[in-house]
Amino acid sequence: MTRCRPAVPQSAGGSDLDEESAAWLRALRGERREAAVARLRARLLGVARGEVNRRAGMLPFGGSELDDIAEQAASDALVAVLAKVDGFRGESRFTTWASKFAILEVSSKIGRHFWQRDGVRLDPNAWDRLPARFGLGPDSGVEWRQMILALRRAVDEVLSDRQRRIFEAIVLNEVPLDVLVVELDSNRNAIYKALFDARRKLRAELAANGYMGPEPRT
Amino acid sequence: MMSDPNALERFLATDPVDPGCAKALEMLDAYVDTLLAGGDPEKRFPDVAAHLRDCGPCSEDFEGLVAAVRRGREAAG
């Protein structure tokens, strides 16, 4: 008697999955789901720990604080993966897709930890440091000093209040974007878009006044 | 620190195909798997590539995901 092979699970997009991804989906939907969830949690914790270790040298905190971030990131990533697993489109391996949630949670939690620890402090003299950040010193030419003055004028005149606030925090004060996300109770996409639009406006203004060429078309 | 006279101009330049963080992160796992499979993710996902060139936080997440997937595959043998 021939036996039918179990159907290969498909992604939400209808595509056939690689063997390992299909096995994860079968396990998470099957009778031994609890064991599969525990295995997934362990995997996400491994990803989160690896990521905090990778970033440790760039952070002003470490030890148990990083352990806590990894634990919380793994737990929240697990919730996100389980909530979205039915929408998995199979455009990558399941483990890559799931690991992404752990990485994003680590980013988000590091931003929040920064904010809780240091808050956002804006230096009223931050404009004075800007020329040095762009490689300009006392011996820089007059044209460059004029360009910085024109930039400052454009920031005051062409940006919206929100764009100006975001530009001043990120560009002048070097506040990490994910920290500003928490400060403004926003999300990364919205803050990035506001800064993107601000950059575009500032460049257009400086180009209109002859300080730089027009934006190249791609 | 940026240290050349075009640094400010480059910083203010924006790429019109940049889709923003949300759409780029949605495709980040496919981008990483394409890279690790030896493909050309910049060709397959030019919009994601444009975003990763400009967005520090998403670029950091990309580096992290590449490292995580590599570690996972090494551990699996």
- pLDDT, residue A1, reads 41
Torsion angle defined by CA atoms of residues A172, A173, A179 and A182, in that order, rounded to the nearest 10 degrees? -80
B39 DSSP assignment: -
pTM of the shown model: 0.90
- ipTM of this model? 0.93
- The rounded Cα A151 to chain-centroid distance in angstroms is 27
- Using the beta-carbon criterion (under 8 Å), do B60 and A55 form an inter-chain contact? yes
Of A156, A140, A170, residue with least CA distance to A205: A156
Contacts of A132 in chain B (CB under 8 A): 1
- Using the beta-carbon criterion (under 8 Å), do A196 and B17 form an inter-chain contact? no
Contacts of A189 in chain B (CB under 8 A): 20-22
What whole-number distance in Å separates Cα of residue A166 and Cα of residue A194?
Answer: 7
What whole-number distance in Å separates Cα of residue B2 and Cα of residue A37?
Answer: 46
| Longest CA span, chain B | 48
Backbone angles phi, psi at B5, to 5 degrees: -65, -15
- Using the beta-carbon criterion (under 8 Å), do A218 and B32 form an inter-chain contact? no
- Tokens 């203010």, residue located: B12
**Tens of each residue's pLDDT in chain A, 218 residues:** 444 445 556 666 666 789 999 999 999 998 889 999 999 999 999 999 999 999 999 998 889 999 999 999 999 999 999 999 999 989 999 999 999 999 999 999 999 999 999 889 999 889 988 888 777 776 777 778 888 899 999 999 999 999 999 999 999 999 999 999 999 999 999 999 999 999 999 999 999 999 887 776 55
- pLDDT, residue B4, reads 57
- Using the beta-carbon criterion (under 8 Å), do A107 and B57 form an inter-chain contact? yes
Give the residue from A192, A202, A206, A212 with the most B CB atoms within 10 Å of its CB, the best one to mutate: A192
What whole-number distance in Å separates Cα of residue A3 and Cα of residue A9?
Answer: 18
Q: Using DSSP, state whether A10 is helix, strand or coil.
A: strand
Backbone angles phi, psi at B3, to 5 degrees: -135, 25
Whole-angstrom CA distances from A6 to A10, A22, A150, A177 are 12, 11, 68, 47
Number of H helices, E strands in chain A: 9, 0
Q: Which residues in B have their CB inside 8 Å of a CB on A?
A: 1-5, 7-9, 11-18, 20-22, 25, 27-30, 32-33, 54-58, 60-61, 63-65, 67-69, 71-72
- Tokens 């030019």, residue located: B46
Q: Which positions of chain B have pLDDT values less than 70?
A: 1-5
Strands in B2-76 per DSSP E = none
The minimum CA-CA distance between A212 and chain B, rounded to whole Å, is 7
Residues 6+ apart with CB under 8 A from A135: B1, B2, B3, B4, B5, B7
* Partner residue facing B61 (CB), from A103, A147, A216: A103
